[in-house]
Structures are given as C-alpha cells and as structure tokens.
Chain A
Amino acid sequence: MDFGILSVIIFLPMFVALLMLILPIGAKGTRNIAFLTSIIIFILVSLVYYNFELSGYMQFREHHTWITTYGIYYSLGIDGFSLIILMLIATLIPSAYLWLWDGRTKGYWISMMLIQTGITGTLFAQDLILFYFFWEAMLLPVFMIIGMFGTGNRVFSTIKITVYTIMGSLLMLISILYLGVAFFNNYGFWSFALNDIVQITNLTRTEEIWLFAGFMIAFAIKIPLFPFHTWLLETYSNSPTGGVFLLSSIMAKLGVYGIVRFVMPIFPELYKEFAPFFVWIGIFGLIYFGIAALMQINIKKMFAYSSASHLGFIVTGIFSLNVYGMTGAAFLIIAHAMATGGLFLLVGKMEYSLGIKAIPALGGIAKKAPIFTVFFAIMLLCIVGLPGTSGFVSEFLIILGAFGFSPSAGIVSAFTVLVAASFMFWMFQKAILSDSGNDVSQMKDLNFKEIVGMLPLAFLIIAMGIYPDWFFYKIEPTIQHYLIDILEIRNY
C-alpha cells in the first residue's frame, strides 16, 4: 500500500491530540507541540501544492474499502478547488496559533488539533458517508470550544448553533442515505463513493429536488445564507477568538466547498436550473447583511454580518455558471478568509486586552498600537475590496461573472463596492482612530510572535492583489473542468 500523504495530513493532528490527552504534558507543552504539528502540516501541504499537476481532475487519490457491506469507502482526493482551500488552512492555522499563544488551556489546544483533523478530512473526503463523518467530527470540538471557553451567554450560543447545525446535518444525512439506497436500486450493489453516486439515473424530478434541498439547506446553514443566519450573531460574538477564527475563515468556506464538491456533480441539472435563485439570494444577502452591519454596536457582530455579506457574494460567484464568477468565488474564499480571519484575531486581542466589544467604548487605539493599526487597515481594505488587495480581484471577477450570468445581476452586485465601505470605515474611525476619551491604556501593540503570525496574511492579501495571475493558474483547470465536464456548459 502506498504512502498516503493526504491521510497523514488529516490524521497527524488527531494522533498528536490523542497522544497529548494521554501524556502528562501541560498546556504550554501541548501548545508547542500543536504549533510544531501545524508547521509540519504546512510543509506537507506545500509539497502537495508543489506536486499538484495542472489539471482539473482529482489527484493524490486514496481509495480503500471501509465498510464493505454498504459500499462505504475511505476515499480521498483533491482537485484545484480543494487545493487552494487546503493551502489556506495550512497557512492560517500556524498563524492563528501564534496569536492564541498565551493563556489557553490544554483542552483548548487539543480541541484545536481535533478541529484541524475534521476540516482537512472534510476537504479530502470523496465518499459521502466519510464526508459526513468528518463534517460532524469537525463540529463537535467547535461546540466544545465555544461552550467551554466562550464569553457572554455562551451556553445559549452553543445550543443555538448546535440546533441549527444538527438540523442541517440531519437533512444532509437523510439525503445521503436516500442517495445510497437509490444507487443500490439502480445498480444492485451498495456505494456511497461520490464517483458512483453521480451515476444515479433512477431518481424522479421530485426526489431530486428534495435531495437537492436537503444538501443545500445543510450547506446554507453553515455558510450562512439568508435566512439561515441567525445563529451567526451570538456565536461569533460569544466565541473565543480561536473558535470564531475557525468558524469564519474556514468552516463557513467549507459550506461553499460542499456545494461545489457534492451538489454540483450530483445534481448538475438542478444546479443550473436553480442558479438564478442562488445568484440572487447571494446578492440579496450581500446587501441585506451589509445594511444590517451598518448599525451594529458590537464589533464582532458587525464582522459577523460583514462575513455573511461576503459569503453571500461567494455563493453568487459559484452559481454564476461561468469561469469568471467561479474563479472569483474561489479567490474570494481565500481573500475573505485571510482578511476576516486576521480581523477576528486582531479584534480578539483587543477584546482580550481591554475586555470591550462595543465600538463606541473603544477609540484611540491607533495612537497606542500603530502596528496593530497597520495590520487592521490592511485587512479592512481587503474586505472593502480596494484594488491592490486580493479583495478587489475577487469582487471584480464575481461582478464580471454575475454580469455574464445576467446584466442586471452584474449591475446590482456592483453595489458591493459601497456595502462594506459604508460600515467598515465608520467602525475604523470610531473604534481605532478617533480619540473618544475612553481608557484604552491596557491596549498593547503587537508583540513579535503576533507580527510573525500576521505577516503571511498581510503579505498574501497584497501579493494576491498585485499579482493575482500567479495564484490562479492552479485552480483554473479545475473550474474549466466543472463547467465543461460536470455542468456541460460549452459557451459560458
């Protein structure tokens, strides 16, 4: 049996976490080992990235039977779309660890490592049951982190997100099982492997629509798409920094990933048929959440809405059915993860030092912490979509894609240039720049570790804005493959 680098990437953190659980090592030791693990994974992922061939098909496949009776496979693989998300995760996690460095318990670090296993597993799984398994495995430690280390009404937040998520997961599980049975009826043997499931031909249209809805609701909750977003506010507001960081910058994106990976190939016709609906719900979300963010006092709630607003835009991109919109969406996934992740880390530090989340109670930070402010400004400008940052390239491409889908969608989606700018700059003024006489003397500027952690994010934001082409070439064949082979759109 050949050496499966993807399996190593998935299970190394879990293995280390379980080892830590048994061994009598303190919080600091666990943290150091967790950091080391994340660096090793980064190196492994870089190898994968480097060896990834320029094609649109699955690579680094690992395919083994798992539960033979029901055709459940341990099947892994990545294509260009997963590759960039993988690269993103591998870059973000060590950065985040540097920011979470002090004052966390052993349980926190163990949970973080387990989460990493869950998200990479979700990203690689090519079997529906395996995917579901990792999807759930990724969420449990998140609930633990929020419930145990959160602030405010954290138990309520945990229950709320759990209820939402379990709802979605349940629908997804039912859909998966239904598909499995359908496959059995179709071909006479069991299989949940994605490559087999896409061959199903015996579903009626009604059945397909129900199953499609089952998947879409599960993913829409995770993203979140309007109207499945109300868990977001409390969760983001009450989560500890690490939790909200992972939720906003990685897990929300996995919702989008799920749509592309499973919904698109399993239901290509419905995907095309309902594309207008999702393009418009994305644009609606963009504007709705953008306006809702405008009057938020709690900075984390503002970012929660802002995040939802951009994710709506990503959904517009992936449903635009052309190469511009879809590459733009992939690019925005990265851009937004960097910027929002960075912002939540920065805000987390502010909350940690000052104990304040209310925007009017802040102010005068720029004077106290100039380097903090520089990074804050870079992240903010990326969210706002300023040219020269990755935010612009992605927004421009999505607008282009939306216009290609329908000119009216393109024109309305261009309003994105106003949406984030309107509240982000107000927040920046109130919370960071202007001196409103509040006591912020406890605020410290970034230390060396934090600067090192933030630099890759800031660097990538700018590099991807100045030289986007370099970041495109690995993903473009995949998008072409989606459009030509899966969706069978020739003249996009």
Chain B
Amino acid sequence: MSNFLLAWIVLIPLLSSAALGLMYLFSIKIVKIPNIVFTLIGVSAPFASFWIATTFFLQMIGNSEIFLYKAYRWLGVDGYDIDMGFMADKLSIFMVLFITFVGGLIHLYASGYMKNDDGYGKFFFYFNLFIASMLLLVLADSPIIMFIGWEGVGVCSYFLISYYYEDEKNVQAGNKAFIANRVGDLGFIIAMITMFYYAGANGFDYINLEASMASVPPDVLTFIGLALFVGAIGKSAQIPLFVWLPDAMAGPTPVSALIHAATMVTAGVYMVARFHFLYDLIPDVGLIIAYVGAFSALFAAVIATKQTDIKKILAYSTMSQLGYMFIAVGLGGYSVGIFHVFTHAFFKALLFMGAGAVIVALHHEQNIFKMGGMKNKTPLVYFTMLIATLAIAGIPPFAGFFSKDEILLTAFGSGEYLIWIMGVVTAVLTAYYMFRLLFVVFHGSNYKEERKLHALNKSITMPLVILAMGSMFAGLIGVPELLGGHNLIGIWLSDWRNSSLHVAHDTEFILMAVNILAAIVGISIAYKKFFKYDMKIVPQYEGMIWNKFYIDEIYDRFIVQKIKKISIFISYKVDVNIIDMVVMGLSRSFIRGGHFISKLQNANTRFYAFTMLIGISVISTYLIMVMR
C-alpha cells in the first residue's frame, strides 16, 4: 500500500517551508536569491499535496475504505502509545482537496500580490507552514496530533497577521488573534485530557475513541462536548471569541484570503464534524452550538451592514457564514456544514482576492466609500466579484445557494424555527451588505477622477477566474434530489448526514422560495440605497453597530484592565511590601545579631585565609588519595 503518501501530503509543504525559511535567511545574510526560486518552491508545494490527495480520493470512490498510516511512535509513556498517525477518510480527504486547491490558488495570487515585498521568501515560508499545519490538523488520526496542527495554524496566523511588524497595530492584532485562539485551545486541551482519562483506555485515535465513547458517563460527555466547542469557538471566531477576526485584517490580503476561506476558521467546523461520534450522543450541546452559530451569524451580519472598510465587511461576513456552518453541524447535519465550508472556500477566497485586487489597484485604499467606479476600470475583477457576491447572497444556481438552502432546511426540519428565522434574516442582511459593497465599489461614481490605477498581473487575475468558476459550479455537487440532482456531497459524506431529517417536498420548495426571496429583498434594498452611489458623500457612521457593540471595550475594561491591576498588585505590592519585607526584615535582624557576635571574636583575617587554604589542600589531597 502507498499509505505512507498520506504523510507526504503534510510533509511536502512542511519541508518546503523549512527550505524557504533557510533560503530566506541565506538570502538576506549572504547572497540574494531571486524571487522566482521562492515562487517555484512555495507555490508548487500545495499543488503537489493536492495531486497526492487526488490519488487517495480516486481510490475512495465507490467504497468506504479508510487509509491509515502511522509514521512513528510520537509518545509512549507507561505502555500507552500515541502515534504520529494520519487518517484519510471521506471527510478528511474531501477537506484536504479543497484546502490544497484553494490554498494553492491563494499562493499563486500571493506571488503576484507580494512580489515587491522585501520579505517575499519569508512570506512563503509562513504560507507553506500554515498549509502544512492545516493539513496536519485535518489528516491527524488522533486529537493530540490534530492539536499540533491546530496550534500550528494559530501561530502561523499570528506571524502572518503581524507580518508588517514595524507597525505596532499589526502586531497587536496578531497578539489578539493568538490569545483569543489560546482561550479556545484551553477548552480543547481540557476536553482532550478529560477524553484521555474517560475514553482513552484502548487508544487515543479517533477509531478507538469512537468505540469507547458510549461508555463515558453522560455528564462527562456533555463537559467534553462543551469544552471542545470552546476550542471551535476560538478558532472559528464565534461569539464570544470572535474579536480577533476583524483585527486580523491587518495582515496582507492574501493572508486574509487564506485564513478566511479554506483554512483556519473552518477548523472549528471540521472539528465538530470530526467528533460527530461525540456530538451525536449529546444533542443538547449540539443545540447550544447551533444557537451560538445562529447568533453569531446574525450578529456579524448586523455589524457588517455599517462597516466601511472593505476587508472588515468581508471579515464579518466570514464570521456570519461560519455561524451558518455551526447551525448545520450543531443540528447533526455535519455533511451540510462541510458542504457550506466547501462552497464558502471558493467564493470567500474570491471575494478577498477581488478586494485585494481593488486595494492594490487603488494604492492600498480600503474604505469602500473612497473607491467607486471600478466596474469599467477593472472589468475582470468586477465580473468575478459579482459572481462571488451572487454566490454568498444565495442566488441560484451559484455555489452558496445550495449549501445555505440545505442549512436552513436542516434548521427548519429539526423544528428549530427560531434558528431558522435568524438564518433567514441573516440571509437578507447578507445579500444587502454584500451588494452594498459591490454597488459602492464598482458602480458608484468615481471618488477621485485623476487616480492612476496600479496594473494587475496574470498571477493575480488567473486565480480570480478559476475561483469564479468554482463559485459558479461548486454548488452543483450538492444539488438536492428535489431539483433532480444527486446530492453527491451528501452521498460522499453519508456517514456524516443527519438521517433523522424528513421534510415534505412541498415544504422544501417553499423554504427554497423563501431563501431566494430573502436574497432578492436584500439586494433590492441595497440597490435602492447604493446603486450609482454618489461618492462625494462619505457616510460617517457612529453608534452601537458601527462600534461593534463595544465588545472590544467591554473586554478591555472588565478583563484586560482587571488582570493588569492584579498583576501590579502582586508584583509591586504583595511581593515587595509583604513577602520581601518579612524576609529582609529577618535578615537585618540577623545582621544585627551578627555584629554582636562578631564583637566577641576578634580574629585575624589572614589567619582565616590560612586555615581555609590548609583545609582545601587537605581535602584535595585526601580525595586524590581516595581516588587512587
């Protein structure tokens, strides 16, 4: 068997990143290496992994084979072994396919976007490392190996967000991302360790965990499920740990595309799907997940309607779409959630890349109200962005329609009408704010006439076209039976399907119509307010929504500042004024005592030195004699 190739899916980008990192240091210290070398290595790595993954994918068609490969014993304590193991089943290989494909396109795009950057080689070092971590996360065969990838993704995102590190703000954004993620990781670790003690007796890989999960007491299961979900919240930027995501826009645009589209943020959704054997047993926790998702979706969509920074609008839209995914996985529709992850990967990557193209063309302008009229100047970007916007808004037959429709169907079919309503309202808002963006940026009048546009090269435009095709057709793998499709994705991920869902065909039609209607309503409002927008008016926003409901400020005041106060109290009050005072006080009294005693003896220092010398010589001689 060629199972060892599974490891190479991860190893190729990992080795490539190691090579890039060393070459970059070599390049800045000794001899300059031309960018083309970095490009060739960096961009080819994800595609090479894609190619290997395809071979596995092809072997899996039509059967339910699982490929396992244990590279080495990672840790063996007390007869208990944890292996560096890889597992490709239908879920993980599906994830790998679009992670490497979309990731590869983003690499290609980055080679054009970053081409004048001094740290070009370093950028690809982080990029490859990021992809490698994400692939490890997905292909791991046990939670702990997954955690290695999980945190690897976190730290790479830290370095990428704070890529322009001279500016303090960027690094702060990176710090925020890392800490918020770490809060999530705390949940992950606690869940993992509890799992280890309660379900890990026969082995810590998913297959064994799945087998022993049923014997775990129900309240412990609930605890594990909740703690694990905290990890997902952190990584996938849901309420209340989402604060890092908008700030993460500080990184270069390809970074945003990579973090937001196929990788990182989807890890939380993947995790819940991966642990479906756990969440199947605790539907109550699933319901909490679905509600967190629904609230996050709505909350982010509301904020997005008032933002002016093009990347922040897209950031909130990511959070909102992730909310949809959590609705699905929370209600047991894991395959549906993954389907949305898949379609979202295409249109979100495209949206970010299109936004990046506009930003580059306008010399790093990010305020949509200072753009305008881009339709005629960058027609290709316009058309691709239009496709992506239609896809995210949920207009058939574009990709987002099918997956979103199925999520809302899952919500309705499970009898969670409140979640369904929130989902539909979010759909209206999504269509609204996305078309607001599109109309203002592309249809509005020119903000400034005389601006000379920065030219866009092939490596930027080509990925846009490919992703546009993806955004048009990716949904077709999930066309429901109702419309004469085969729901290929549902069949592929049949182990992850919610089998208890039964909705009458008529109802299904009505729900579909509601979704389309919701999108149209949103688009119409946006059309009325922003089509042919006069760019002389730059709107000034204020209030609750514009300020993101003051969540950042609340966290700062009630958590960060409090901890800082405690810190000062500990290190400057308790340690100095109490503990140290006691110790130094004691020692001073000793010194006083010492003075008193020293008066009693009045010996010659030279005599002391002499006796010491004798002592040392005696000891040394003695030792030498003993050793003989």
Contacts and interface: CB of A to CB of B under 8 A. Distances in A.
A445 B564 CA distance: 33
A366 interface: yes
B201 to A, nearest CB: 13
Contacts of B196: 400, 403
Contacts of A295: 564, 567-568, 571
B595 interface: no
A367 B167 CA distance: 12
Interface residues on B, range: 35 or more
Contact of A469 (B76, B570, B626): B76
Interface string A258-295: 00000000000000000000000000000010011111
Given A407-B194, A429-B172, A415 B186 contact: yes
B74 A467 contact: yes
A107 interface: no
Contacts of A291: 563, 566-567, 570
A399 B193 contact: yes
A1 interface: yes
Interface string B161-188: 0100111100110110011001101100
A469 B567 contact: no
With most chain B CB atoms within 10 A of its CB, the pick from A74, A393, A407 is A407
Contact of B148 (A293, A387, A445): A387
Contacts of A433: 162, 165-166, 171
A417 B189 contact: yes
Contacts of A417: 182, 185-186, 189
A392 B158 CA distance: 18
Interface in B537-572: 563-564, 566-568, 570-571
Interface string B38-82: 000000000000000000000000000000000011111110000
Nearest to A295: B567
Given A292-B575, A476-B78, A414 B193 contact: yes
B189 to A, nearest CB: 5
Interface in B460-480: none
A414 B183 CA distance: 10
Contact of B179 (A296, A403, A422): A422
B584 interface: yes
A163 interface: yes
B590 A163 contact: yes
Contact of A296 (B77, B165, B189, B571): B571
A327 B152 contact: no
A414 B584 CA distance: 35
Nearest to A373: B165
B151 interface: yes
Nearest to A18: B620
Contact of A480 (B78, B171, B182): B78
Contacts of A163: 583, 587, 590
A391 B172 CA distance: 24
A371 B155 CA distance: 19
A61 to B, nearest CB: 14
Contacts of B564: 294-295
B148 A388 contact: yes
A415 B174 CA distance: 20
| Residue of B167, B175, B563 with highest tally of chain A CB at under 10 A | B175
Contact of B77 (A160, A323, A374, A407): A323
A313 interface: no
A434 interface: yes
A101 interface: no
Contacts of B162: 429, 433
A445 B29 CA distance: 10
Nearest to B82: A469
A418 B584 CA distance: 33
Nearest to B129: A388
B281 interface: no
Given A230-B575, A230-B579, A292 B76 contact: no
B25 interface: yes
Nearest to B74: A469
Contacts of B72: 467, 469
A476 B579 CA distance: 38
A20 to B, nearest CB: 16
Contacts of A456: none
B627 interface: yes
B168 A429 contact: yes
A434 B165 contact: yes
Interface in B570-624: 570-571, 575-576, 579-580, 583-584, 587, 590, 622-623
A410 interface: yes
Contacts of B175: 425-426, 429
Contacts of A132: none
A163 B585 CA distance: 11
Interface in A1-15: 1, 4, 7, 11
Contacts of B628: 1
Given A407-B194, A472-B75, A418 B186 contact: yes
Contact of A434 (B75, B171, B568): B171
B152 A388 contact: yes
B144 interface: yes
Given A387-B151, A403-B193, A417-B186, A324 B77 contact: yes
Interface in B104-162: 144, 147-148, 150-152, 155, 158, 162
Contacts of B76: 469, 472-473
> Which one of B75, B174, B186 has the greatest number of beta carbons of chain A within 10 Å?
B75
A371 B21 CA distance: 11
A71 interface: no
Given A11-B623, A229-B575, 11 more contacts: A65-B626, A230-B580, A296-B571, A400-B193, A414-B189, A414-B193, A418-B186, A422-B563, A425-B174, A445-B29, A468-B75
19 contacts: A1-B627, A64-B627, A66-B622, A160-B587, A293-B571, A323-B78, A327-B77, A370-B25, A374-B25, A387-B147, A388-B148, A397-B77, A422-B179, A425-B158, A425-B174, A435-B167, A445-B29, A467-B74, A472-B77
Closest 7 CB pairs of A and B: A387-B148, A292-B571, A294-B567, A433-B165, A429-B171, A230-B580, A163-B587
